[in-house]
Amino acid sequence: MYLASALLFLTSAFSSFVAALPSQLPLDAKLGHRVEDSKVNVSLYVMSRCRDARLCEDLFEDVFKTDDILQKVNLNMNYIGSINKAEPLGVSCKHGPLECLGNAHQLCAYHHLPLDQFWAFVQCQNFPSSYPKDIGDPSFDRQCIETIGEQWWESGVGECIEGKLQHNDTASSSFNGDGDREEESVGLGKEGRRLLRKNIRHTEGSGVTKSCTIEIESTLVSAGKRTCEVDAGVWRGCDDGHTAADLARVIEAEWQNLKSKENAEHAFRH
Ligand SMILES: *[C@@H]1O[C@H](CO)[C@@H](O)[C@H](O)[C@H]1NC(C)=O
Ligand SMILES: *[C@@H]1O[C@H](CO)[C@@H](O)[C@H](O)[C@H]1NC(C)=O
């Protein structure tokens, strides 16, 4: 009797554990994007061909160079656009179709690379003085992937961007139905299209429309987050300052607070 109820308990505990898994383990667990409770959630709302986004990303380049700040954040990239079924990619973007492609390409890198390498990729994309001329061009993506020491196909980024057909380079022999044919016609892999639509839908749901907007989730301020915006080069919000040192200080403080909460919970349990 005792054994039976113990087994029953174990079984139900296990199935609720399994049921809880999908929400607790985000999709990108294997890629170093695992959402860890003890890390500070930082969200950037950007557009790939927008100078203000580049300004924000330049700033974060300096933030991430500070000590080991990059290890202390979950970085969420939110691309701004609107769902539009009439468009070939299913979304429209402020700076045109090339920007939608650029957004998708960066999402492909985000999903297939560890965070530090994704960040190096974005820096490579933003680097040329001709910016944003090449954003959205797969051959430029490939150059950047190789510049940061990753491999185009092996990393998975190439197929996400260019699709299966390009990968095999033998279109006729590996032809795989309409999904693959569509990749060719829109110039973006199936995975890239899916990531783009999902991301844009999520951003639309958040209500944020300004590129660039920075949100730092907070357990220290009563609003629950700190918000900072740069529009046409002008900073707004940013109550804690908008230099790299300010942002690094805030992230460090939030991280310390999460750690001390975690330690307190740990002590309580034992
Ligand atoms: C960060 O965001 C994720 C996903 O929304 C959430 O599960 C997690 O609890 C957040 N972390 C913190 C420290 O708030
Ligand atoms: C390449 O084509 C073969 C069939 O010819 C297929 O089995 C394989 O999955 C394809 N590779 C990729 C990466 O699509």
Ligand 1 pocket: which residues have CB below 6 Å? 35, 37, 41, 74, 217, 258
Ligand closest to the CA atom of residue 153 = 2
pLDDT of residue 66: 93
Closest residue by CA, ligand 1 atom 8: 37
Task: Evaluate whether residue 257 is within a structural domain.
Answer: yes
Residue 180 lies in a domain: yes
Residue 24, in any domain of the structure: no
Å from CA of 171 to ligand 2 middle: 10
- Cα dist. 178→89, 182, 226 in Å? 15, 6, 45
Which of 112, 173, 174, when mutated, tests ligand 2's pocket best, judged by the most ligand atoms within 8 Å of its CB?
174
173: CATH: 3.40.30.10
Residue 169 confidence (pLDDT)? 58
User: What is the pLDDT at residue 29?
Assistant: 44
Q: How far is the CA of 80 from the centre of ligand 1 (A)?
A: 21
Tokens of 164: 């299966």
85 inside domain: yes
Q: What's the number of domains the chain is made of?
A: 1
CA of residue 73 to ligand 1 center, whole Å: 10
**Contact yes or no for 194/89 (Cβ under 8 A):** no
Task: Convert 62-81 to b/e letters by CB count within 10 Å (16 or more is b).
Answer: ebbebeebbebbbbbbbbbb
- Report the distance separating Cα 6 and Cα 123, nearest Å: 55
Neighbours of 209 (CB within 10 A): 12
The residues of the chain scoring below 50 in pLDDT are 1-30, 170-174
**CA of 38, closest atom in ligand 1:** 13
pLDDT value of position 31: 53
Residue 176 CA to ligand 2 center (angstroms) comes to 9
Residue ranges of E strands in the chain: 40-46, 73-79, 82-83, 91-92, 213-217, 225-231, 234-237
**Does 22 reside within a domain?**
no
Which residue's CA is minimally distant from atom 3 of ligand 1? 35
Task: For residue 165, give the ligand 2 atom closest to its CA.
Answer: 14
| 3-state percent helix, strand, coil for the chain, nearest multiple of 5 | 55, 15, 35
The residue whose CB lies within 8 Å of the most ligand 2 atoms, and thus the one to mutate among 161, 164, 184, is 164
The verdict on residue 37 lying in a domain is: yes
Q: Which of 74, 216, 226 to mutate to test the pocket of ligand 1 (most atoms within 8 A of CB)?
A: 74
Instruction: Give the pLDDT score at 261.
Output: 87
pLDDT for the residue numbered 164? 83
Which pLDDT score, from 0 to 100, does residue 14 have? Answer: 38
> Taking the CA of residue 236 as centre, how many other CA atoms within 13 Å lie in the half-sphere pointing to its CB?
11
Give domain status of residue 7, yes or no. no
Rounded to two decimals, the pTM is 0.81
Domain around 182: 32-269
Structure letter (DSSP) for residue 25: S
Residue 97 domain flag? yes
Q: Which residue's alpha carbon is nearest to atom 2 within ligand 2?
A: 174
Residue with the smallest CA separation from ligand 1 atom 2 is 41
Residue 14 CA to residue 9 CA, distance in Å, equals 8
